[in-house]
Structure 1
Amino acid sequence: MPAPRTTPPRTAVTLAAALSALVTLSACTSGAGSPSGPSTSAPKLTATTPAATGALDQVTWNLPMGEPTTLDPAKVGDYSPSTVVSNLCDPLLRLRADYSLAPGLATSWNRPDPKTLVLNLREGVRFWNGTPMTADDVVASLLRQRDPATQSVNIAVMAGVTSITATGTHQVTVRFRAPDQLFPKYLANGFGAVSEAAYLRKAGSSYGTAKGGLMCTGPFRLTSWRSGESITALRNGAYWDAALRPKAEKLTFRFITDSSTLTSALLSGQIDGSYELPSTVAKALRSSRTGTVYYGPSAQTVFLYPTGTASPLADRRIADALSLVLDRDALIRNVYDGAAQKPKTFIPSLVWKNSEAADVYAKAHDALPALPAVDEARARKLVEQAAPRQRTLTVAMGAGDQQSLQILTFLQAAAKRIGLEVVIKQLQPTQMSGLFYDPSAREGLDATMVLGYVEIPDPLSYAEMLTAPESPLNWTRYRNAEVTALLRQAKATLDPGRSAALFTRAQALYAQDLSLVPLAWPHERMFLNKRLSGAPASFAYINMPWAAHLGGTGDSGTGSRTGEAGS
């Protein structure tokens, strides 16, 4: 099951730029007043870019979150590895740019009874080595994720599964202890990716590494991985989906994490494109004649989360106090350059916006309490009422993550005015990752900045992680028997409308007592060199073969498409 994500370091653009941004942000709110300063209009959003028309010899793409540690689909659950693997290893279901589901390696699926799921597999699909894909490969790919030795990030998805068997050459049947409406949706991410069974056995624990490689069915095939330098994939000319046979012959991934270096590389054309642009880079590229900055809908979420029961933030009154002194309009204008939304909850609306029960989710979201206006007097009273009396919060963030630093510095100044001290602690990537799985790594910390995203089109998947008593990410030991019961019923209810109604009842309850501070829903930010087009601009790229959509525009001159793009 995907966890809230934290990013590896993004080196600050320059100390001067960082100080300037912080001064600007801090100046945006004074006392309990409203934000001041120049207005930044919200960018227009587009889920896709204009369809590509021509072939490309090669595309060089950047991973601003750094080099992946693995490309094993079972272990992939973060920005960099998912950006690569989504073009290499096809899942059973496919995520569309609008965050809806479509057939993938499974052409259809049905439930002969509530506890049985039958997957009908696509015929004529071959792995890169020419071997036909069969039901045995699907069974092996799914079952290995139940083995603790695999270290699958989705092991919890298998908790209710009693068996997965091949019931035909191109049919797989999954049986459950209880109905599970979430399971099919997980088949659209790394959990549902199919690898060749024979190759898995041969590679063992080295599968997905630079040494062990991969054997999948995707539109690009992995050809080299030079640690610290690049990952290269070549076009799969025999790809089963003729409409998505890549127009690019070669796809090379680089790992530039420094914002100023990335800006220069994109401006010069050394790098053709990148998702997850830091806002400083997006702003610098907005008037570029080299290409276009696209803003798309996103399933990303940023919030402040307590690390344990002893944290002052575990007291809902402290969380509410911080929320009352947090000027989110100023944050979005100055930190995100307008490319974000104010959140009522920690689950972005894109997750349910295109579901069958979208109207149920929308009505419930509208009914949630509005975010409070800045009110220092009320916040100060909540702090005085809170227990225990500890008034210092040590907050972890990824070293070099300029956006998180700006947010926390702003929050630090506001918190001081209501009697709270925020201490910012920057951690290296391995330390930040360890927070989510190793309780000892959270010692001495009171909270962390979570830069998360919801991988599948269902809000239940993310809500469970923070509220279920047995969840390893429920650090505050949150307990609400009614919330737990409603979410379990929602998971076991196969009717979309009824499941959504149960979830939203739970949401209304945990919105009142779950202790965290929602900060923003950032938009997706992508840059494309003017010679390229076709790539999806929405966050759905994280689990779809986005590079297979890339192609040429037929424009190799200067100044063809510039500035921001949207619809």
Structure 2
Amino acid sequence: MSRPQARGRAGTRAHLSAGGSARRRALAIAALSAATLALGACGPPAGAISEWELTPAQPAAVSDVDQITWAVHAEPYSLDYAYAFDYPDNMVLANVCESLLRMKPDLSLEPGLATSFSNPTPTTWVYEIRDGVTFHDGSPLTADDVVASLSRHLDPEVGSFWYSVYQNVDSIEKTGPRQVTVTTRVPDSQFNLAMGNSSGVIESAKTLEEKGKDYGNSTGGVNCTGPFQFSKWTSGESIKLTRYDGYWRKEGRAHSSELDFVFMPDGTARTNALKAGEVDGTWMVPPEAVPILRAGSGGDVFFGTNATVNSLVVSDLKGPFGDLKVRQALAYALDRAGILGAGYGGYGEVTDALTTRSVWQGVPSASVDAAFTGLNGYPRDLEKAKALIKEAGVEGQEVVIATAPISNDFTVTAQATADALNQIGLKATIKTVTPNAYTTLFSDPSAREGVDLFYTSWYLSSPDALEMYGVLRTGEFSNYGGWDDPEFNRVVNQATATMDATQRAALTAKAQKIANEQLPWIPLFAPPTTAYLSDRLTGLSPSINFMYAPWAAALGAR
């Protein structure tokens, strides 16, 4: 998904995200064009092309600290869990609010506010609610709070960004003193897997009623169960959290008395603040800043598990890209290793799939291997690409690529794509819009009119690759190009109704292969999660689970 970073589920949630990373690095178009022609020389062959490796969790904190300052690339849209659909929103909210299940650093799920769950019939999910948990106002967590919290996603007046998780839900009911049962109209394996992200967050029913439309904004705040509690939101500047001493999970107690998130949309300013020790850390380090920060002496950059693939979305199948040969031609024409090197610093791996291995959870490794074996490869081959364009009969036709001044990878990808298209016989035009307008591409069909391609950094929010392919079914909100493949739809629907993880993985592998062959989106590369942490702190677990688990509670003094 990115909003400006481009995921984009609900428009902004772009999986780079709703607000858009404001890492901006202006490069002259002429220079970029020249660089694009020789992208292959900018980085080594396909695969991991820079010196980096996944970083293990850092040693546990040995003592507390008074305060931590964390840089965020954009101000959150909301702290209302129903609208927390982007990086800034969730990295803050994850420390304040908790879900029924919890996502671990390896992206597997464990009990959260629900001590257990069961699936006694194909269409029911039963949750046993944890006792001894209190909200930040001191009131106890009850089954009624769970019913009220989950039910908001079904309320049209709320307009939850997470409605797709609940689209098959028929009822949410209290079925015991500490038990809640969710009934779906059809078997839905994906519902429970989403209870480890923001769609499974639980808030006090009383708070929801009292705050009304102010809930989750800078004046209403939130009242949840996490290790930090909401203190103050200074619009345009920062959000302050303070430690909640009544936190139920003793081993998860926060090591910092205060946690300040400061909004720093300018990438250069953010990098300088990290170097100077003015802020203690950040997630999503701009690729161009990684070598600068790694060369410094005040902290280090860490690389962690991710669930993200950076791709080109084919947003118009009525034009030239309606012909599979044209989509294949672009895939063969792109120098993906060069794009990764020049645009993303080489931090990642070129891929032919729209998912990462990390999201194939709960299945044998052989099943995961099978899902990535036998996929079509698209090594750079300009002659093959030119031949495909000629066969399609579209030589000289115009193709429009939308981009925005969000970060270096956006600019490089747009220029490299335009160059590739021009070399194989099409006429490419780059349409540059504002970051906010780019976010709209993910939510407003009219914004995509006249746009053939746009770039996204799309992350998954559950530990199941099926989430990715579910959004590409006919009629889905995020099927931006209106791709329609009946066999793909059939396989994905069958997989959704399959509760056995191994059997579901086999069906998802079929969907992955169809998408790999049909290219409704063209995968480019899979980057790691990046973070920077000051040397005065430890306890960081670098992983994209920072979106949904209270990562900051573990940070403390060495």
Residue 24 of structure 1 and its aligned partner are, at CA, apart by 4.5
Q: Give 2:537's aligned residue.
A: 532
Residue 280 of structure 1 and its aligned partner are, at CA, apart by 0.9
Residue 23 of structure 1 and its aligned partner are, at CA, apart by 4.9
Q: Take 2:43 and 2:31, find their aligned partners in 1: how far apart are those partners?
A: 21
1:200-215 paired onto structure 2 within 5 Å: 200-215=208-223
Q: Give 1:416's aligned residue.
A: 422
Q: Give 1:97's aligned residue.
A: 105
What amino acid sits opposite 1:178 in the alignment?
Answer: V
Aligned equivalent of 1:220, options 228, 236, 244: 228
Q: Give 1:107's aligned residue.
A: 115
Q: Take 2:159 and 2:281, find their aligned partners in 1: how far apart are those partners?
A: 32
Helix, strand or coil for the counterpart of 1:75?
coil
TM-score normalised by L of structure 2: 0.93
Q: Give 1:356's aligned residue.
A: 363
Deviates further, 424-433 or 172-181? 424-433
Aligned equivalent of 1:400, options 406, 419, 433: 406
Residue 266 of structure 1 and its aligned partner are, at CA, apart by 0.1
Q: Give 1:436's aligned residue.
A: 442
2:501 corresponds to 1:496: yes
Q: Is the 8 A contact 2:280 2:534 kept in 1?
A: yes
What amino acid sits opposite 1:527 in the alignment?
Answer: Y
Deviates further, 68-77 or 16-25? 16-25
TM-score normalised by L of structure 1: 0.91
Residue 34 of structure 1 and its aligned partner are, at CA, apart by 9.9
Residue 385 of structure 1 and its aligned partner are, at CA, apart by 2.2
Q: Which string of whole-angstrom CA distances, capped at 9 and with x for unpartnered residues, describes residues 333-390 of structure 1?
A: 33222211111111122111x4234431321212212x32221111111112225566
Q: Which string of whole-angstrom CA distances, capped at 9 and with x for unpartnered residues, describes residues 241-278 of structure 1?
A: 11111001100111112121111100111111001011
Aligned equivalent of 2:392, options 386, 393, 400: 386
Q: Is the 8 A contact 1:6 1:450 kept in 2?
A: yes
Q: Take 2:432 and 2:34, find their aligned partners in 1: how far apart are those partners?
A: 20
Q: Take 1:511 and 1:36, find their aligned partners in 2: how far apart are those partners?
A: 21
Q: Give 2:129's aligned residue.
A: 121
Over 3 Å counting, the alpha-carbon distance change for 1:394 and 1:21 in structure 2 is closer
Q: Take 2:66 and 2:548, find their aligned partners in 1: how far apart are those partners?
A: 24
What amino acid sits opposite 2:412 in the alignment?
Answer: Q
Q: Give 1:558's aligned residue.
A: none
Helix, strand or coil for the counterpart of 1:512?
helix
Residue 430 of structure 1 and its aligned partner are, at CA, apart by 2.9
Deviates further, 253-262 or 511-520? 511-520
What amino acid sits opposite 1:499 in the alignment?
Answer: R
Residue 401 of structure 1 and its aligned partner are, at CA, apart by 2.2
2:28 corresponds to 1:28: no
Helix, strand or coil for the counterpart of 1:73?
coil
1:99-498 paired onto structure 2 within 5 Å: 99-352=107-360, 354-369=361-376, 371-386=377-392, 391-466=397-472, 468-498=473-503
Helix, strand or coil for the counterpart of 2:39?
coil
Helix, strand or coil for the counterpart of 1:410?
helix
Aligned residues: CA RMSD: 2.3
Q: Give 2:551's aligned residue.
A: 546
Residue 434 of structure 1 and its aligned partner are, at CA, apart by 1.9
Q: Which string of whole-angstrom CA distances, capped at 9 and with x for unpartnered residues, describes residues 423-466 of structure 1?
A: 22233333222222211111222221112101100011111101
2:50 corresponds to 1:44: no
What amino acid sits opposite 1:305 in the alignment?
Answer: V
Q: Take 1:523 and 1:22, find their aligned partners in 2: how far apart are those partners?
A: 27
What amino acid sits opposite 2:373 in the alignment?
Answer: D
Helix, strand or coil for the counterpart of 1:120?
strand
Q: Take 2:69 and 2:409, find their aligned partners in 1: how far apart are those partners?
A: 26
Q: Give 1:565's aligned residue.
A: none
Q: Which string of whole-angstrom CA distances, capped at 9 and with x for unpartnered residues, describes residues 275-308 of structure 1?
A: 1011011121111101011011211111111223
Residue 36 of structure 1 and its aligned partner are, at CA, apart by 8.5
Residue 9 of structure 1 and its aligned partner are, at CA, apart by 4.6
Q: Take 1:439 and 1:140, find their aligned partners in 2: how far apart are those partners?
A: 32
Q: Is the 8 A contact 1:304 1:519 kept in 2?
A: yes
Helix, strand or coil for the counterpart of 1:112?
strand
Query: Unaligned 5+ residue runs, structure 2?
Result: 2-7
Q: Which string of whole-angstrom CA distances, capped at 9 and with x for unpartnered residues, describes residues 68-94 of structure 1?
A: 111111111111101111111100000
Helix, strand or coil for the counterpart of 1:148?
coil
What amino acid sits opposite 1:5 in the alignment?
Answer: H
Query: Unaligned 5+ residue runs, structure 1?
Result: 554-567
Q: Take 2:151 and 2:396, find their aligned partners in 1: how far apart are those partners?
A: 47
Q: Is the 8 A contact 2:101 2:114 kept in 1?
A: yes
Helix, strand or coil for the counterpart of 1:448?
strand
Residue 409 of structure 1 and its aligned partner are, at CA, apart by 1.4
Q: Take 1:147 and 1:319, find their aligned partners in 2: how far apart are those partners?
A: 39
Residue 211 of structure 1 and its aligned partner are, at CA, apart by 1.5
Q: Take 1:413 and 1:102, find their aligned partners in 2: how far apart are those partners?
A: 47
Q: Take 1:274 and 1:197, find their aligned partners in 2: how far apart are those partners?
A: 33
Q: Which string of whole-angstrom CA distances, capped at 9 and with x for unpartnered residues, describes residues 84-135 of structure 1?
A: 1111110000000001001000010112222211101110000000000100
Instruction: Give aligned-pair identity as a percent.
Output: 33
Q: Take 2:220 and 2:486, find their aligned partners in 1: how far apart are those partners?
A: 46
Q: Which string of whole-angstrom CA distances, capped at 9 and with x for unpartnered residues, describes residues 219-262 of structure 1?
A: 11111101111011001111111111100110011111212111
What amino acid sits opposite 1:228 in the alignment?
Answer: G
Q: Take 2:33 and 2:63, find their aligned partners in 1: how far apart are those partners?
A: 44
Residue 162 of structure 1 and its aligned partner are, at CA, apart by 1.5
Residue 19 of structure 1 and its aligned partner are, at CA, apart by 7.7
Helix, strand or coil for the counterpart of 2:97?
coil
Q: Take 2:475 and 2:26, find their aligned partners in 1: how far apart are those partners?
A: 43
Residue 203 of structure 1 and its aligned partner are, at CA, apart by 1.3
Q: Give 1:62's aligned residue.
A: 71
Over 3 Å counting, the alpha-carbon distance change for 1:458 and 1:169 in structure 2 is same
Q: Take 1:52 and 1:195, find their aligned partners in 2: how far apart are those partners?
A: 29
Q: Take 2:35 and 2:557, find their aligned partners in 1: how far apart are those partners?
A: 40
What amino acid sits opposite 2:462 in the alignment?
Answer: I
Q: Is the 8 A contact 2:85 2:161 kept in 1?
A: yes
Q: Give 2:5's aligned residue.
A: none
Over 3 Å counting, the alpha-carbon distance change for 1:402 and 1:146 in structure 2 is same
